[in-house]
Amino acid sequence: MHDTDHSAELHEVIYVSTLAPDAPTSVVADIVGKARLHNPWLGITGLLIFDGMRFCEQMEGSRIDVLAQLERIRQDTRHVNLRVVHQGPLAARRFRRFSLGYTTLDDDDALGRLEALTGQDAIAAFQALLSTLDLDA
């Protein structure tokens, strides 16, 4: 393996969490802004979806960086009930273009349904959700 080939090390995490009851929805812009600054330094790309109440984030990068970032996110008091629905090796990045892509979702139930899934079912639901989103941002 060449030193520049990190594809074998790619790891992804998909989690769902809920906006903290005392947090205004305006914190989402702050979360996205900070992530877009820090993620390139960490080699992390991904997508954050927000439906007005729930977050769903997919992060990808080296296993150590993604898991460290997940732990920082777990400590963030702006959201609660973080549930990892999938994590594991990833063959190729899903979101090369985004340090953090961001979109909102009008379907209030989609992330609730995703939150109830795990593993391959969660990946399938996430990919189906992606097909409904406009990601030209």
In the chain, the amino acid numbered 52 is G
The ranges assigned to domains in the chain are 7-130
In this predicted structure, what is the pLDDT of residue 119?
86
pLDDT per residue as tens digits for the range 94-123: 888 888 888 888 777 888 888 888 888 999
In this predicted structure, what is the pLDDT of residue 74?
95
Tokens 């379907």 locate to: 107
pLDDT at 137 over 70: no
**Architecture, CATH, for domain 7-130:** 2-Layer Sandwich (3.30)
Q: Model-level pTM? A: 0.85
> How much is the CA Rg of the chain, to the nearest whole Å?
14
Q: What's phi and psi for 25, nearest 5 deg?
A: -65, -15
pLDDT per residue as tens digits for the range 23-60: 999 999 999 999 999 999 999 999 999 999 999 999 99
**Per-residue 3-state assignment (H helix, E strand, C coil) for 81-130:** EEEEEEEEECCCCCCCCCCCEEEECCCCCHHHHHHCCCHHHHHHHHHHHH
pLDDT at 19 over 90: yes
